[in-house]
Structure 1
Amino acid sequence: MSYQFSPETNYSGTPQAVMLSQPPRVGRFAQTRGIGIVRHFYRVLCRFTPGLAAHLAYAQLARPPRPALSERHIAIRKRARMQRLPAGKNKLAVYEWGEGPAILMVHGWGSHATHMGRMIGPLVDAGFRVVAFDAPAHGKSSGGATDLVQFANAVAVVARHVGPLHCVIGHSFGAAMAMYAARDWGVVTGKMVLISSFNHCNWFLQMFAEHVGLTPAVLDRMRQMMANLYGGRLKWSRMSVVDMARQAGFPMLFVHDEDDQEIPFDHSLALVTALKDAQFKATSGLGHHRVVRHPEVIRDVVAFVSHQQVE
């Protein structure tokens, strides 16, 4: 099912503006063994040494999970042209398939280049060159830690290497970083597909803070510490993905599943209602990850990329 939306409400783009229909499962911060001990640890630190709590929390956040690749993902990578690109202190693993106008894929937090691998074949068959990469501290790229600034910079590094982009396709955290890179990091694209995106980068930090039990004051310290680290390059008041989308001058397709337990469906609704001409495909029963593998979603993404109207 797909919809054309027109803005009927004045959406502010703040993290509090969206009333969630259900609490998220906290995505890549889902419940794990020992989380009670972690929360007790931070509860003590937040009370007695809030500065240390902020530093340790950032260090923990900056180390994404690095799951092993499945045989299917390994096989997809073996069919690619692979190279490594320098990005700051890191080396990015970059993969390419096919020939033609370039499409850049941007994976989510704790994911990897071929997470959207089932889209690659249909896009190549449609006459496109598909490029994907492992972000810093993800997949086969170097680095043990990263954050949204380094992630967005990696998007820009790969985009510059690839050349003119016909389209960028981002999933989850990668969708928001693709939009961030387009606005603030010089990434130029003809269009963009955002699958299961959140509506504000603050939300990502808030979910982590709730997961480990940070107090609001310590979360603020951590945000300020991150902003100071990049000397003004990171301004949280400018990290609304809604505002980024409003400022974009290219066509956009949003895809989100109503049963997403990691990033609630309401986030994409907020994004689409803020725009005049964006296309929106809503699915159900697929959740956060299967949505990128579903044949109907892939068909509609290929149609949008190929200048066709999504049905």
Structure 2
Amino acid sequence: HGDKDVTDGFLWNENATQGSALLVHGWAANSSSMHSLVPPLRAQGLRVAAFDGPAHGVRAGDQATMTQYTRAVGAVLDTLGDVRVVVAHSLGGIAAIGAVAAHTGRIPECAVLIAPPATLGAVLERWDGAGLRLTRPLVEGIYRELHHRNGVPVSHWDLAALGAALDLPTLILHDPHDPMVPYEDARTVTAGLKNARLTDADGGHMGILMNHTTTTHVTRFTTEHLAAPGGPHTHLHHEGIA
């Protein structure tokens, strides 16, 4: 992979000839959190890859940035070279779409975003509102520090803005009663992307990954969009996407 932010992961169906599926886990989770999505993707003849993001899972360290995570996703796209579908959970959705938008090679033919937050800023504001009672100067200080570490302001991490120029068929799955990421975020993302549709699924924020309905929707959607003859194909890259 050639990227220090990608060192640990899993690969199933290594010799598959129908292209690859990439699973991108959420923040404070790891690659194993996506395990329920492996069988339906393998059943489609896809090679399935998942990795632990920087400072996640078995990776060393306790700090990571969205810039690092996005760069890591991009490195895996480069290494595999034939990713046809990306399936991402929670904040992994922002990293995944950011990586695809910046990718200069073959980009996936479709994407599935499960319980995606609309922006990193909204996530941080919700954490502040969850009883932390941080003062506004402290919050602004955190934003400045994140800007310094990421190299871009927190406002950069806006899923719909990052993916606005991508004509990428995208399925968004979200529980209307998700206690961590409001359903309104899913509506915002769906409205902001060119080619997205929103479907409800139960299970809350984490349980949605294990819900049979989720795997069924993923199977139907990927089957529909990977059915084109000739296998993986190249989408024109949209220049100028940060």
Q: TM-score, normalised by structure 1?
A: 0.65
User: Which residues in structure 2 correspond to 1:190-201 (within 5 Å)?
Assistant: 190-201=109-120
Paired residue type of 1:272: T
Alpha-carbon offset, residue 142 of structure 1: 2.6
Q: What's the Cα RMSD here?
A: 2.1
Structure 2 residue ranges without an equivalent (≥5):
227-242
Q: Aligned to 2:148, which of 228, 243, 254?
A: 228
Match for residue 218 of structure 1? 138
- In the alignment, structure 1 residue 161 sits paired with structure 2 residue 79: yes
User: Which residues in structure 2 correspond to 1:72-91 (within 5 Å)?
Assistant: 87-88=3-4, 90=5
Match for residue 18 of structure 1? none
Match for residue 108 of structure 2? 189
Deviates more, 1:165-174 or 1:221-230: 221-230
Q: Aligned to 2:166, which of 248, 251, 256?
A: 248
Deviates more, 1:198-207 or 1:124-133: 198-207
Alpha-carbon offset, residue 202 of structure 1: 0.8
Q: Distance in 2 between matches of 1:135 and 1:143?
A: 11
Alpha-carbon offset, residue 307 of structure 1: 2.1
Deviates more, 1:253-262 or 1:205-214: 205-214
Match for residue 305 of structure 1? 222
Q: Distance in 1 between matches of 2:192 and 2:149?
A: 31
Q: Aligned to 1:94, which of 9, 31, 35?
A: 9
Alpha-carbon offset, residue 273 of structure 1: 2.5
Q: Aligned to 2:51, which of 133, 136, 141?
A: 133
Match for residue 113 of structure 1? 31
Match for residue 185 of structure 2? 267
What is the DSSP-based 3-state SS (H/G/I as helix, E as strand, rest coil) of the residue aligned with 1:279? strand
Match for residue 278 of structure 1? 196
Answer whether contact 1:102 1:164 (CA < 8 A) is retained: yes
Answer whether contact 2:166 2:194 (CA < 8 A) is retained: no
- In the alignment, structure 1 residue 238 sits paired with structure 2 residue 134: no
Q: Distance in 2 between matches of 1:133 and 1:91?
A: 7
Paired residue type of 2:109: G
Flag the 1:91–1:174 CA change in 2: closer, same or farther, 3 A.
Answer: closer
Alpha-carbon offset, residue 86 of structure 1: 5.5
Percent same amino acid at aligned positions? 23
Q: Aligned to 1:152, which of 60, 70, 84?
A: 70
What is the DSSP-based 3-state SS (H/G/I as helix, E as strand, rest coil) of the residue aligned with 2:200? strand
Flag the 1:143–1:299 CA change in 2: closer, same or farther, 3 A.
Answer: same
Deviates more, 1:217-226 or 1:258-267: 217-226
Paired residue type of 2:48: V
What is the DSSP-based 3-state SS (H/G/I as helix, E as strand, rest coil) of the residue aligned with 1:92? coil
How far does the alpha carbon of each residue in 1:60-118 deviate from its partner, in whole angstroms, 9 at most, with x for none? xxxxxxxxxxxxxxxxxxxxxxxxx5633x55202110123111000001111021211
Q: Distance in 2 between matches of 1:287 and 1:105?
A: 19
Paired residues, what number?
221
Flag the 1:183–1:220 CA change in 2: closer, same or farther, 3 A.
Answer: farther
What is the DSSP-based 3-state SS (H/G/I as helix, E as strand, rest coil) of the residue aligned with 1:272? helix
Paired residue type of 2:180: E
Q: Distance in 2 between matches of 1:91 and 1:308?
A: 28
Q: Distance in 2 between matches of 1:260 and 1:143?
A: 29
Answer whether contact 1:209 1:215 (CA < 8 A) is retained: no
Q: Distance in 1 between matches of 2:73 and 2:24?
A: 7
- In the alignment, structure 1 residue 174 sits paired with structure 2 residue 89: no
